[in-house]
Chain A
Amino acid sequence: MSAQLKSVDQLETFRRETRAWLEANCPAEMRQPVTEEGDVCWGGRRWKFKNDAQRVWLERMAERGWTVPEWPKEYGGGGLSKEEARVLREEMGRLSCRVPLTSFGISMLGPALLKYGNEQQKREHLPKIVRGEIRWCQGYSEPGAGSDLASLKTRAEDKGAHFLVNGSKIWTSYGDKADWIFCLVRTDFSAKKQEGISFVLFDMQSPGISTRPIRLISGYSPFTQTFFDNVQVPKENLMGELNKGWTIAKYLLTHERNMIGGMGTQRQTPLSQLAIKSIGLASGKLAEGTLRADIARFEMDALAFTLTMGRVMDEAKAGNETGAVSSMLKYYGTELNKRRAELAMSIAGSEGLKFDGQTQADIAPVWLRTKANSIEGGTSEVQLNIIAKNVLRLPGA
């Protein structure tokens, strides 16, 4: 048994203490369901807290490192074991506590920093992520480099003390709201495309950076195109080795894919219940037989997928290798999510077509948003390519 594993008794003590602390410290407003965008706290220099409760909740949780329960204490994390982190999640769920901080620093950059960053970078950046002081964005895709990400052209030229960055990125999530960017740049212009890429971090307030929001089919503008015009990036902001950024990029994409793939399994009202409400039962069955059959097929696949996510986690805990799992989960999870949205629209009928750009309950924007799930973080087709190559070992793939 690893030293990390706590005995059942210790875990129960931890559970009791955690519950008591949450009850005493989580403001009542932070135990209400999230109903609008401002309810999700992203942090950052320019973040406007919706209310005092949101600020207090973030500060209290950050002080214990519980915005990132499993990160090491020395960088401001909670230092909890997997089991303790699970208990914390369960207790937060029990009290309906909101997640105090959501950010790409937590879900994407942090894990990569912990693995590939140097000591100085970790000490500089991780605590600010933990406390929600710096909001990060991701500079990966470019107008000419989507699925073929490694063909990216944004240049970082070596100018002695700094890199000079020129080029542009696209699909930068919240690029106009972020404080810093982690960015893939080309540092070797003659090497094979994957081998000339480096991973750099820089301040979005640096001179020469501009952003332009992109309006999507859903009506929202969560993405920007981001332009770099002679941006000076200090050499010490290179993460990992020069020209070895692709390794970090792939590692980070794995995290992103797990996150996107897992979205389909978040607790949602079963389609069958929506359908019973909208269509009604006849002799105990949904009154529309053909739609019922599709709903049943979806619900079965969704349950099978949830069980598979659980099995993958169990296998990982048992130390078993389950290769290219993130591609499988990303592919299947996002396709399921799209199926669910299509069925939800059919179930709602004309009600589902309502679209004024403001009403939170409208499902049309959600339906439209799901279409991106199988594109962002590597398209479904790219995931299938990865499975064919890395798992099935098919030739020339």
Chain B
Amino acid sequence: MSLVLTEDQLMFRDAAKRFAAERAPVAQLRKLRDDNDAAGFSREVWKEMADMGWAGVLVPEEHGGAGFGYVGAGLVAEEIGRNLSATPLLSTAVLGVTALLRGGSAAQKEAFLPAIAGGDLVVALASDEKNRHAPHSIATRATGGSGKFKLSGRKVHVLDGHVADRLIVTARTSGDVESRDGITLFLVDTKASGVNVTRTPTVDSHNAAAVELRDVAVSDSDVIGTVDKGAVVLDAVLDAGRAVLAAELLGVAEESFERTLGYLREREQFGAKIGTFQSLQHRAAHLFCEIELVRSVVLRTLQALDAQEPTASNLVCLAKGKASDVARIATNEAVQMHGGIGMTDEFDIGFFMKRARAAGETFGDYYYHADRFAQLAGY
């Protein structure tokens, strides 16, 4: 497949570019933070995003979505990264929808996909339990067996957890705490008895929560996928999230890089534009190359997910690892090259560095994915 965007994809991206810059820019994230906004995003804007086809970007047309696939989701995410848009796109439109598409029953798809695509339902993945990402390390237990499952455990870093209508909870129905076998996915109503959600403010002013589950009763119809075999769905959900986060990180890197280039062209010291200094030029030129590499791996990876290629996970590791690393370097360089003003809260560049750190950490950072890349290659 050619690593060039199609006409349709270009149009979709251009529309996303305009919308994100106008309706969900960095200034909006700043205001949500300063207002200590209860939701952490604008429901009104999310509805508009749904009208743009974002909420249903992965939802097939027969379920009321746009059906633009992972490449489409990545195009939106890149613009979200460029603008640091506050939106539940990742939690709901990517993680939630992928879980339903890969493991959902016909009834579940019918019940939730149109609602998600319409921007009326927010879903959150409650899976991580450790501070360092370890997806199969799950101690949360589903006891009682078929027909009368009860969930107990504690989840961390649940994106949009405090605003979600439904949680997708991973729990152990058998096996050891570290085992890939024995994991089951459940759909849980956040208002159900025994569910306690606490918002956890993060450095990037994005939404996250801790979820406490105490004997939460769920029925068989709430199971996504197959009991004990939930890791198949979970891995697919995480890979989708990682690939889309890589696209967002690409946008973060691009935007902070472009802002920095603008500063290098304007700022004067020692009687010259600082962009004339070779030490800065070479660092910028090197960064340009790294960002170009990320652009290639992100597009290739999203295409591989759309085509359900058997080795897509290798590419996901490459994309998430490389994008996390390059976005970290790009935003660090951005702050350094901006000098003192880059350290001020009033100036936006710091927001990009914070987001690069948080998005880089989410679902595995460079170190996690370099290790997994090597493991998948047999070393």
- Chain A interface (Cβ < 8 Å from any Cβ of B): 270, 272, 275-276, 281, 284-286, 292-293, 295-297, 299-301, 303-305, 307-308, 310-311, 314-315, 317-318, 320, 328, 331-332, 381, 383-385, 387-388, 391-397
Q: A332-B293, A385-B285 are in contact. List 11 more A-B contacts (CB 8 A).
A: A285-B374, A292-B374, A292-B379, A296-B373, A297-B370, A304-B322, A307-B3, A314-B4, A328-B288, A385-B282, A394-B261
Known pairs A296-B373, A315-B4; A328 contacts B292 (CB<8 A): yes
> Is the beta-carbon distance between A296 and B371 smaller than 8 angstroms?
yes
A384 in contact with B374 (CB, 8 Å): no
Chain-A contact segment, one of B34-42, B209-217, B270-278? B270-278
Nearest chain A CB to B367 CB, angstrom units: 8
A305-B293, A310-B296, A395-B265 known; A300 vs B275 contact (CB < 8 Å): no
- Per the bound structure, the CA–CA distance linking A297 and B2 in Å amounts to 26
From B275, B288, B318, B322, contact of A397 by CB (8 A): B275
- A396 pairs with B276, CB closer than 8 A: yes
User: How many angstroms from the CA of A310 to the CA of B275 in the assembled complex?
Assistant: 31
Encode B251-271 as 1/0 by CB contact (under 8 A) with A.
Answer: 000000000010011000000
Whether A311 lies near B284 (C-beta < 8 A) is no
Say whether chain B's binding surface is mostly helix, strand, loop, or mixed.
Answer: helix
* B3 near A381: Cβ-Cβ < 8 Å: no
CA A320 to CA B285, docked complex, whole Å: 21
Q: Given A300-B322, A307-B296, A388-B285 in contact, is the A394-B272 Cβ separation under 8 Å?
A: no
Indicate if B297 sits at the interface (CB-CB under 8 A): yes
CB contact under 8 A between A300 and B318, given known A392-B261, A396-B273: yes
The residue that B276 contacts in the complex, of A292, A304, A391, A395, with Cβ under 8 A, is: A395
Residues of A within 8 A of B374 (CB): 272, 285-286, 292, 295-296, 299
- Per a CB cutoff under 8 Å, which of A272, A320, A331, A388 touches B377? A272
Q: Would A318 and B2 count as touching, CB distance under 8 A? A: yes
Q: Mark each residue of chain B from 351 to 379: 1 if its CB lies under 8 Å from any CB of chain A, else 0.
A: 00000000000000000001101110111
With a cutoff of 8 Å between Cβ atoms, the chain A residues found around residue B373 in the complex are 296, 299-300
Instruction: List, in ascending order, chain B residues with CB within 8 A of A317's CB.
Output: 2, 4
Within 8 Å by CB of B379, from A272, A315, A332, A388, lies: A272
Complexed CA–CA distance, A299 and B272 (Å): 40
A397 — which chain B residues lie within 8 A by C-beta? 275-276, 278, 281
The interface residues of chain B lying within 8 Å CB-to-CB of A331 are: 285-286, 289
Show 16 A/B contacts (Cβ-Cβ < 8 Å), sorted by A: A272-B378, A286-B379, A300-B318, A300-B370, A301-B293, A304-B296, A307-B3, A308-B293, A308-B295, A311-B3, A311-B300, A385-B278, A387-B285, A395-B275, A396-B276, A397-B278
How far apart are the CA atoms of A385 and B278 in the complex, in Å?
8
In B276-309, which residues have CB < 8 Å from any A CB?
A: 276, 278, 281-282, 284-286, 288-289, 292-297, 299-300
8 closest residue pairs by CB, A with B? A396-B276, A388-B281, A311-B3, A387-B285, A384-B285, A308-B296, A394-B275, A304-B293
Which residues of the other chain, B, contact A296 by a CB distance below 8 angstroms?
A: 370-371, 373-374, 379
Q: Taking the nearest CB of chain A, how far is it from the CB of B273, in angstroms?
A: 4
Q: Taking the nearest CB of chain A, how far is it from the CB of B95, in angstroms?
A: 24
Residues of A within 8 A of B295 (CB): 308, 311
Given A272-B374, A286-B379, A304-B297, decide whether A384 and B265 contact each other with a Cβ distance below 8 A: no
Report B-chain residues with C-beta under 8 Å of the C-beta of A381: 282
The smallest C-beta distance from A194 to any residue of chain B, in angstroms, reads: 20
Assess the B265–A328 pair: CB atoms within 8 A: no
Residue B53 at the chain A interface, CB threshold 8 Å: no
A310: chain B residues within 8 A (beta carbon): 3, 296
The answer for the CA separation of A396 and B285 in the assembled complex, in Å, is 14
Whole-angstrom distance between the alpha carbons of A305 and B289 in the complex? 10
- Report the minimum CB–CB distance from B262 to chain A (whole Å): 10
The one of A292, A305, A320, A388 that contacts B284, using a Cβ cutoff of 8 Å: A388
Q: Chain B 306-325, CB within 8 Å of chain A: the 1/0 string?
A: 00000000000110011000
Contacting pair B4 A396 (CB below 8 A)? no
Distance of A175 Cα from B171 Cα, bound (Å): 71
CB distance from A55 to the nearest CB of B (A): 40
The chain B residue sitting closest to A305, CB to CB, is B293
CA distance A315 to B289 in the complex (A): 16
Residues of chain B with a CB closer than 8 A to A285's CB: 374-375, 379
Closest-CB distance, B334 to chain A (whole angstroms): 14
Q: Which residues of B contact A383 (CB under 8 A)?
A: 285
Which one of A300, A307, A384, A395 contacts B321 once the chains associate, using CB atoms below 8 Å? A300
Q: Which residues of A contact B293 (CB under 8 A)?
A: 301, 304-305, 307-308, 332
State the CA gap A266–B317 with chains docked (Å).
23
Asked if A387 meets B265 with Cβ closer than 8 Å, knowing A296-B371, A304-B296, the reply is: no
Enumerate chain A residues within 8 angstroms of B276, measured Cβ to Cβ: 394-397
Does B3 lie within 8 Å of A314, measured CB to CB?
yes
Query: Complex Cα distance A185/B200, Å?
Result: 69
What are the residues of chain B within 8 A of A304 when measuring CB–CB? 293-294, 296-297, 318, 322
Q: Is there an interface contact between A384 and B282, defined as CB atoms closer than 8 Å?
A: yes
Q: In the bound complex, what is the Cα–Cα distance between A281 and B300 (angstroms)?
A: 30
Q: Find out whether the CB atom of A394 lies under 8 angstroms from the CB atom of B264.
A: yes
* Chain B residues near A297 (CB-CB < 8 A): 370
For A308, list chain B residues within 8 Å (CB).
292-293, 295-296
**Nearest CB of B to A342, in Å:** 18
Nearest CB in chain A to that of B3: its residue: A311
Determine whether the beta carbon of A314 is less than 8 Å from that of B2: yes
Shortest CB distance A318–B (Å): 5
Q: Shortest Cβ distance from A201 into chain B, in angstroms? A: 34
Q: Are B282 and A275 in contact (CB under 8 A)?
A: no
Cβ B379 vs Cβ A276 within 8 A: yes
CA gap between A307 and B278 in the complex, in Å: 29
Alpha-carbon gap, A275 to B378, bound state (A): 11
A392 with B288, Cβ < 8 A, contacts A384-B281, A384-B282 known: yes
By a CB distance below 8 angstroms, the chain A residues around B379 are 272, 275-276, 281, 285-286, 292, 295-296
Chain B residues closer than 8 Å to A300, beta-carbon distance:
317-318, 321-322, 370, 373
